[in-house]
Structure 1
């Protein structure tokens, strides 16, 4: 029994029918994308709307505790300042080495490693800081301060220790890494011998401890944004500096850093935003108490930690509830403003580099 292929084959749609089907599918995709974008925008707009509506004076006799909110804001700024002292130098130094000095094979490992480091939960940083770093920091505050100065200086000296020929190749080998580690360890040991008699914090849980843990948590974000900004600078600029006789360090200081300045500043702003809204590390390592406004060795209580601790016990439409909503609105405003400023700086950097190399 023979089967006629002409009677079994399905007729193919004509050219106009296929064009109409493609247009219909394209419209469906556009509508779905627009609906998803509208949903995200509505969700973002609903948060400040809810906070503003919740701040309406339901009871005229209820007043906000402005002094307490100012103390919480000062605590947030104190914690952020301590964290940025750690995150900015380390983040910018790591980004500079990865984008400008590291060998290509090493660079292929460093950047994914920092991205994986960003996935570590903040509660882990808080746990390590509370269980391990706090007892050590109570008796070695001066050593920690010395390390903040010694490590960048030793790394900078190690970079300049290479000759012009090694710097001009475009990367710095890790041959001096054991020597750098030995110098840092020797300095920390020497400082730790007489450290316990120099500085005595009132509590092992203080703003400095928060700064170390929170700075490490913000380090991957600062590194990622700064490294992207440095990588956007065309390699032709650096090669032109080499052709004029500049070393690798001279090209970095006079060409790369000025060209990527707005992107590096955006990394600092985003690091500030990341640290300003952190909650878990501050709760675990900050002592959750009010301290002296300018003392990094005293306990710290921030806007975010106040929200986490006091929100479950606050009565709706009460004075404490209104203060918490105002604190949440302040956190949201600072985060949005910092993100907008950082994105504007990054857009400016991209536009300037595109105009220079269309």
Structure 2
């Protein structure tokens, strides 16, 4: 309120002071502004729950109204409170509908001492001094039932001395006579009656004295614990960390902490013993952030097991922030891996071909064209990936996978057909060789897309998306896709080693056309062996009873599974588009490195009888290896720091799965998305800056090792 609305008696309050006036507390925080704090309450008509004295009582509020559970006269009952309003008098009366809860007295352990209802009123807990706890399922008020019994105190010599809810009334905090503080909550468990089990998720350690008081913060997952020796401890439950501890009181007999509380702003800690009331100013800083919560698995409330998770915000006040950076680091590495997997081989091979085999006139046109690709804004590439490419690819995924085989085979087919051309024509058309081979990509793309339905029937049981979900088929098709690149390299190396010397002896005296024809037949034979080898290994891995009882299946939701549920915006789309983003940089630097190799090395190699290909592989590439490696590292740095493409096309989901067909979130994209909404100076804000630091450290470490390796390549090049 303003100064004019304030009572005259309180206008003399100094700035920053407080004063009681007319049953209200007035504060003067700044000039011309006053605040009035007063308690207002109303009492409804009493409700009789039992004719017997109520020994224990728990309460909660559902959307339908208040819910209570009471233990009286050796009987346990749950009550649903409803309000009835008289439309004439507007009087409100309350009625309680009672439902008895199954309860059997224990032969040992005495009477229960704790009775509590969860925040949603769907679970009831009853506990005894020896730590025995019964959990009741009250989701259906007409049929509450006992679903689980748990021992909160594992040591038989210890007793349960304190039991409280944390914020949200889902996590139970127990304290025993040995000073152990433990956090419990329900986690999914298919073996239990209600498919949940109460688990000890966080052990906050022992203090050597009995826990006498517990209190949770009304703002976060801070917990204050008081002990029998007068000591106080403050924990952050999610981070599993003790933030502060006070010294034991000198007079132990009179010093047990009876009550403890954390201020509403978490800036004050209050405690009361039998003889004193104590207060401390508290600077909690950023308790949710430590090494454990950032980089290790954390057992979050309601999760089946500890996990790496990033979820910085939610729509409820009792939300448990999850600041695990590992999914973001993993997403960054995943994006980099798939983009380099696609872009690096194309860029390096294109640079080698341009430098060593392409006609100078064609090179003068192609190289500037490729370099111009680097000027494309990443936001445009991300837009195309998210709104054009991803929706189209979703309906033709088998055909797209066939492209990765069909297009290389088309180029190789064009090369072998060129060898079969008469020599005089080949010499006349040598300036057009590159474009002629490129034309073969057109029928290769057409054939691959047309073979998509056939690939889907043969490898994915006729339905790609259902196969990816694990609903149909075996894992053989997935293994065939994953093993294809590796078996192609293996087949090429093995067949070349086996036939190289024999072919040299056989081909002595052959004409150019005969040698080219035999080479083409060897290529066809190699392709057949490659496909047969891939199919055989895939069948061995997936068939039950051969290498394993159930067979190996590459599908799943684990971090090691390369296949799983299909998502429209996925790593394959991102790898394809980011590959195009890094190709111009790698290509330009690699081509410059190859072109800078002294010409006399080429001339000496060719003069000694080596072919252009042998000269390239054995002389040019080793000499330029430091430059090629530098080009690859610069491309890696471009991929690691990319923001807009992954922001728009990766789905932006912080999951840790190598699945080629689902999304991810990178460090850079996460900073771009969440920094504008993060409160300045808060935990979330600082974690985002830490994420930026982590990105810098990753890049710095990679570049340091890259420079060390580049220097080794450089020394070897000097020795040539």
* Equivalence for 1:76: 332
CA distance in 2, matches of 1:261, 1:251: 14
- Specify whether residues 98 and 120 from structure 1 end up closer, same or farther in structure 2 by C-alpha distance, changes over 3 A only: same
Instruction: Say which SS state the counterpart of residue 151 (structure 1) adopts.
Output: helix
Contact 1:266/1:341 (<8 A) preserved: no
Contact 2:626 2:710 in 1 (8 A): yes
Measured in 1, the distance between the counterparts of 2:611 and 2:435 equals: 19
Match of 1:134 in 2: 390
Of 640, 654, 674 in structure 2, the residue corresponding to residue 276 of structure 1 is 640
**Counterpart of 2:435?**
174
Structure 1 stretches of at least 4 aligned residues deviating more than 6 Å after TM superposition: 164-167
Q: 1:350 Cα deviation (Å)?
A: 6.3
Output aligned runs, 1:18-57, within 5 Å. none
Distance in 2, Cα, partners of 1:349 & 1:171: 35
Q: Which deviations, in whole Å up to 9, do the C-alpha atoms of 1:238-283 show, x marking residues without a partner?
A: 2222222222222222222222223222222222211111110111
Contact preservation (8 Å) 1:126, 1:280: yes
- Give deviations 1:12-63, integer Å, cap 9, x for gaps: xxxxxxxxxxxxxxxxxxxxxxxxxxxxxxxxxxxxxxxxxxxxx9825241
Residues 101-143 of structure 1: per-residue CA shift (max 9 Å, x gap) = 1111111112211221101100111111112211122122233
For the pair shown, the structure with the greater C-alpha radius of gyration is 2
> 1:38 is matched with which residue?
none
Counterpart CA distance in 1 for 2:599 and 2:572 is 40
* Structure 1 residue matching 2:448: 3-state secondary structure: helix
> Offset of 1:190 from its aligned partner?
1.8
* Paired position in structure 2 for 1:184: 445
Cα distance change on mapping 1:231 and 1:152 into 2, 3 Å: farther
DSSP 3-state at the match of 1:271: helix
CA RMSD of aligned residues (A): 3.0
Q: Which runs of 5+ in 1 are unaligned?
A: 1-56
What is the CA–CA distance in structure 1 between the aligned matches of 2:379 and 2:403, rounded to whole Å? 25
The answer to whether residue 401 in structure 2 is matched with residue 145 in structure 1 is: yes
- Could you say what secondary structure the match of 1:117 adopts? helix
How many residues get paired?
A: 299
Aligned partners of 1:194, 1:347: CA distance in 2, in Å?
A: 46
Distance 1:300 1:60, change over 3 A: closer
Q: 2:603 & 2:626 partners in 1: Cα distance?
A: 22
The range that moved more, 315-324 or 336-345, is 336-345
User: CA 1:341/1:223 → structure 2, altered by over 3 Å: closer, same or farther?
Assistant: farther
Measured in 1, the distance between the counterparts of 2:453 and 2:382 equals 24
Check the 8 A contact 2:340/2:636 in 1, yes or no.
yes
Worse overlay, 57-66 or 86-95: 57-66
Contact 2:339–2:574 (8 Å) recurs in 1? yes
Distance 1:88 1:63 in 2: 38
Matches within 5 A, 1:1-358: 59=285, 61-64=287-290, 65-66=293-294, 67=308, 68-156=324-412, 158-159=414-415, 162-163=418-419, 172-191=433-452, 194-195=455-456, 197=462, 199-200=464-465, 202-342=566-706
Structure 2, unaligned stretches of length 5 or more? 1-282, 295-307, 309-323, 466-564
Residues 123 and 281 of structure 1 are in contact (CA less than 8 Å); yes or no, is this contact kept in structure 2? yes
The 1:159–1:337 alpha-carbon spacing in structure 2 relative to 1, beyond 3 Å, is farther
CA distance in 1, matches of 2:642, 2:440: 36
TM-score, normalised to structure 1's length?
Answer: 0.74
Write the distance in 2 (CA, Å) between the matches of 1:352 and 1:172.
Answer: 34
Structure 1 CA distance for aligned equivalents of residues 648 and 568 of structure 2? 11
In the alignment, is the contact (CA less than 8 A) between 2:409 and 2:444 conserved in 1? no
Is contact 2:400-2:452 (8 Å) kept?
no
Note closer, same or farther for the CA distance 1:342–1:149 as it changes in structure 2 (3 Å cut): farther
Contact persistence 1:267–1:342 (CA under 8 A): no
Higher relative contact order (CA 8 A, sep 6+): 1
Higher helix share: 1
